[in-house]
Amino acid sequence: MNLTNYVKQVSLEDFGWEFRHQAYWNKRLRTTGGRFFPKDGHLDFNPKIYESFGLETFRKIVRHELVHYHLYYQRKGYRHGDRDFKELLKQVDGLRYAPPLSNSQAFLIYECLSCGALIRRRRRVNIKKYRCSRCMGRLAFLKEKLNGDCAN
């Protein structure tokens, strides 16, 4: 799928206005569905949203970013808190927030080999460099788990 052509099509069909810039996939996006750059007018989209939730949800994300885009170039309130933004987003049935990706809610569990303390982290820890903050003992990676898991 050519992303820029798809965004142009959505813009004409859902807004009746032309999209005149470029749209790109950005694999580095983690918690957001897309971004609008007022400086040069291009849009970035998270390919994981498209892969995980399908075209229908992705189209609503595209609408959200196009609301930013079109309001900015009409010199109206294009930020999330602005009335113009909220009204146009509701009018075109765009998503207010990106749906959460399952890996964005995962965390890592480390165990101190000296005192047995469990340490939860969102990012990886270099266990050769860092130590337990309680007893300065060495750390060992235990497991990765999702927020929905009940057991420690």
- What CATH code is carried by the domain that includes residue 37? 3.30.2010.10
The DSSP symbol for 131 reads B
Number of domains present in the structure of the chain:
2
Segments forming the whole domain that contains residue 59: 3-92
Same domain, 115 and 85: no
Q: pLDDT per residue over 50-99, tens digit each?
A: 999 999 999 999 999 999 999 999 999 999 999 999 999 999 999 999 98
Same domain, 16 and 86: yes
Same domain, 42 and 68: yes
Task: Give me the pLDDT at residue 145, please.
Answer: 75
Q: Which active-site residues does the annotation give? A: 65
| Better pLDDT: 102 or 107 | 107
| Better pLDDT: 62 or 146 | 62
- Answer whether residue 151 shows pLDDT above 60: no
Same domain, 17 and 60: yes
Q: Is 64 annotated as a binding residue?
A: yes
CA distances from 119 to 105, 106, 107, 143 (A): 16, 14, 10, 11
Query: Is residue 16 in some structural domain?
Result: yes
